[in-house]
Amino acid sequence: MYRLEEETEADWWEVEALYDLCFAPGRTALSSYRLRDGVPMVKDLCHVLRDGEGILAAVIRYWPAEVAGRRILLLGPVAVHPTRQGEGLGGLLIRESLAEARRLGWERVLLVGDAPYYRRFGFRKLEGVEMPPPTNPDRVLGLALKPGAWEGVAGPVTKARIDEG
C-alpha cells in the first residue's frame, strides 16, 4: 500500500537524492532546469509516493513556465526508485497529478521525454514550441488539459514571470 502526499520542505533532501539516483550526473545542467531556476514549483502538484513504512518510492514535480506569454505547466522530473520500477507508480503519479492540474484550471502541460512512454497519457510532439537548447525537438511533448489549449501556442519556452508584490 502506498500513500500519495504533497511534497513538503522536509521531503526536499530525500527527493533530491532519489533524482540523483535515477538520473545521470549533470541533470541540473539540462535546459528544463534553467526554466526552473528561481521559480517556485507548483506546490499543489508536487507529490511524493511512500510505502507503508514511509519509504520514498516515487516523486513528481511541476513548474510554471510560459510559451508566447501563455502559462504552461512543465512536468518533471518524475522518478521511481529503481527497486520499485515496473509497478506502475510513475503512471499513477502522472495520472493523479494531471487530473489535479485539470481540476485546478491549468490548460496545457509540456515535458521533455520519450514519446512512446508519454503517449499513453495523451502527450504528443509539439510543433513550433522550442525548449532552450540543447533539447531534441522530437522529445518536446505536450498535453492539452482543455480541448484546443495548444492551438496557436508556439515559440520559445520561457521562465514563468514571478509576481513581485
Q: By C-alpha distance, which of 107, 154, 106 is closest to 129?
A: 154
**For range 79-86, the mean pLDDT:** 96
pTM of the model: 0.93
Grid coordinates in use for 49? 509516493
Grid coordinates in use for 164? 513581485
For the chain, give the percent of residues with pLDDT over 90.
85
CA distances from 26 to 22, 69, 125 (A): 12, 29, 25
CA distances from 159 to 20, 35, 64, 92, 145 (A): 23, 5, 8, 27, 20
pLDDT of residue 165: 43
Q: Distance between terminal CA atoms of the chain?
A: 43
pLDDT of residue 52: 95
pLDDT of residue 163: 66
Residue 29 has pLDDT above 80, yes or no: no
pLDDT of residue 27: 76
Residue 4 has pLDDT above 90, yes or no: yes
CA distances from 12 to 2, 18, 100, 110 (A): 19, 10, 21, 23
Tell me the pLDDT tens digit for each residue of 109-161.
Answer: 999 999 999 999 999 999 999 999 889 999 999 999 999 999 999 999 999 98
> Domains of the chain (ranges plus CATH)?
2-159 (3.40.630.30)
**For range 87-107, the mean pLDDT:** 97
